[in-house]
Structure formats: structure tokens, C-alpha cells
């Protein structure tokens, strides 16, 4: 269960050029699994949708963020390019710094909310 | 035209309890216009949708965020409660502090992107 309150960030680089938690998690999944299918699967995302998001990101940046190879002994694979690694790293830094800067106000906001479902039986 | 890169923040207070730019702008619109209809209209949002978002927010917090009065000489109106003002203020503080903390990484990320449409003819 996530630890509330939390923030989700969407970076808008231009009209129709957005990078949010879904795309960032997909990049991280590819980095960790070496596979677009596996990265999508662990997010409950179809292979087609995962490829669509990667194509979209590859078009955003001056260099592609993901490269993939077909076939071969291990059935191909995918990995992040240097640009892909830099994009993911920037996004995570933004998230970390924003979380940290906003912590006090997030708690103040959460204190105004109705209490959530009790977790004390967990 | 917005000033890219920018960040959009969604604060998640619990499961199905989210506060993002749309709800914040609606609160601000009500504060500035004294009217749910006018606040929705300037966002291109139907009255029904605006009310739905307000009902949703009123249910999130321990006190309602908006109160409205019907009829009367001026045809009724709406205003933020103290809780509504505090919620909007917190959200704006979070946005401001997050923007400021993430500024350098946002610029680094934007520098990796393809250049946007040229604006030098504007």
C-alpha cells in the first residue's frame, strides 16, 4: 500500500510532450528487466501500449531513449540509451527534490482531509 | 502560451482522493469570481462537471471547501470556506516549492528534448 500523502508529477516539456509516472516506471522497468514485454507486464500494460509509449518518448528527445534488438539466442532485448538513462535520472531527481521541498505543506493538506480507512489491523 | 518546461502536480491524499491542477484552478476561480458557473466557464468546464468536482472535494475534507447560496438579489453565489482557502493555499505552496526545487533538473531534462516549434516570429 502506498504511503499517503504522495505527489505524482507530470513534466510538460512542450505541447503534447509529457513525462509522468507511467512513462518513468516503464523506462525503469526496461532498465531492470532488459525487456519491453517484461517491463510492461509488471505494470499490467499490454506490449502494444508499452511500445506506443516508447515510440512517443523516442520522438520527444534528440536521441531515442530505448533501443531494442530482435531475435538472437536470448530472443532479443531492450535497454536504455544514455539519453534514456539521463531522462529517467532527471525525472527521479525532480520527484525526489519536489517531494522533499513540499513535505511540510503535504502534511498540512493531509491533516485537513478526512481520516482514511484504518490500517491498524494490518 | 505556457512557459515550458513546467510541472503539473497531483497530490494523492488516499485511494481515490486526488487534488490536481484542475481542482485547484476551479477553487481559485470560485474565490475570484464568487460563482461556480463563472469559475467553470472560464475553464471551459460545464456547470455539471464543476459541481461534480466540488462535491468530490467537499467529501474529501473534514469541512466542505465551497459553500453556495441560492437565489437572492444577486442570484446566489459561492465562496471558499476557511478549509477551501487553506486547501488552495497548500496546493499553491506545494506547486511553488516543488517548481523551485526541481528547476535545475527540469532544465537539464528540457535540454535533452527536441527543440519545440519556433516562437521567434511571435
B98: nearest CB among A86, A87, A101: A101
Is the CB of A107 inside 8 Å of chain B's CB atoms? no
B12: nearest CB among A8, A101, A114: A8
- pLDDT-derived band at B122 (thresholds 50, 70, 90) equals very low
Among B3, B12, B107, the residue to mutate for chain A (most A Cβ within 10 A) = B12
Contact A101 B100 (CB under 8 A): yes
Q: Does residue A101 contact residue B97 with C-beta atoms inside 8 Å?
A: yes
The predicted-structure confidence for A23-75, as pLDDT tens digits, reads as follows 999 999 999 999 999 999 999 999 999 999 999 999 999 999 999 987 655 55
Shortest alpha-carbon distance between residue A74 and chain B (Å): 32
Kindly write down the DSSP assignment for every residue of B2-39, as one continuous string.
Answer: --SSEEEEEEEEETTEEE-HHHHHHHHHHHHHS-HHHH
According to DSSP, residue A6 is labeled E
What does the mean pLDDT of chain B come to? 90
pLDDT at A97: 97
Q: Which residue has the cell 473534514?
A: B62
The predicted-structure confidence for B28-78, as pLDDT tens digits, reads as follows 999 999 999 999 999 999 999 999 999 999 999 999 999 998 765 555 699
Size of interface A-B (CB pairs under 8 A): 144
What distance in Å separates the CA atoms of residue B46 and residue B38, rounded to the nearest whole number? 10
Residue A110, C-beta contacts closer than 8 angstroms, at least 6 positions apart: A4, A5, B13
Contact B9 A98 (CB under 8 A): yes
Contact B90 A108 (CB under 8 A): yes
Contact B87 A109 (CB under 8 A): yes
Q: With a CB-CB cutoff of 8 Å, which residues 37-66 of chain A face chain B? A: 59-63
Q: Is residue A15's pLDDT more than 70?
A: yes
Q: Which residue of B has its CA nearest to A59?
A: B114
The predicted-structure confidence for B83-102, as pLDDT tens digits, reads as follows 999 999 999 999 999 999 99
Is the CB of A103 inside 8 Å of chain B's CB atoms? no
| CA neighbours closer than 13 Å in the CB half-sphere of residue A75 | 5
* Secondary-structure percent of chain A, ordered helix, strand, coil, rounded to 5: 50, 20, 30
pLDDT at B75: 56
- pLDDT-derived band at A117 (thresholds 50, 70, 90) equals low
Extended strands (E) in chain A: 6-14, 17-19, 66-69, 77-80
Would the pTM count as exceeding 0.95? no
Amino acid at each position: 500500500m502506498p504511503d499517503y500523502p504522495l505527489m505524482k508529477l507530470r513534466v510538460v516539456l512542450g505541447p503534447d510532450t509529457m513525462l509522468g509516472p507511467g512513462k518513468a516506471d516503464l523506462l525503469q522497468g526496461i532498465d531492470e528487466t532488459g525487456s519491453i514485454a517484461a517491463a510492461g507486464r509488471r505494470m499490467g500494460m499490454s506490449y502494444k501500449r508499452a511500445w506506443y509509449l516508447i515510440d512517443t518518448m523516442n520522438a520527444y528527445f534528440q536521441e531515442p531513449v530505448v533501443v531494442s534488438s530482435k531475435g538472437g539466442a536470448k530472443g532479443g532485448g531492450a535497454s536504455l540509451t544514455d539519453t534514456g538513462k539521463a531522462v529517467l535520472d532527471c525525472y527521479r531527481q525532480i520527484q525526489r527534490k519536489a517531494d522533499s521541498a513540499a513535505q511540510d505543506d503535504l502534511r498540512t493538506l493531509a491533516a485537513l482531509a478526512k481520516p482514511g480507512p484504518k490500517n491498524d489491523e494490518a
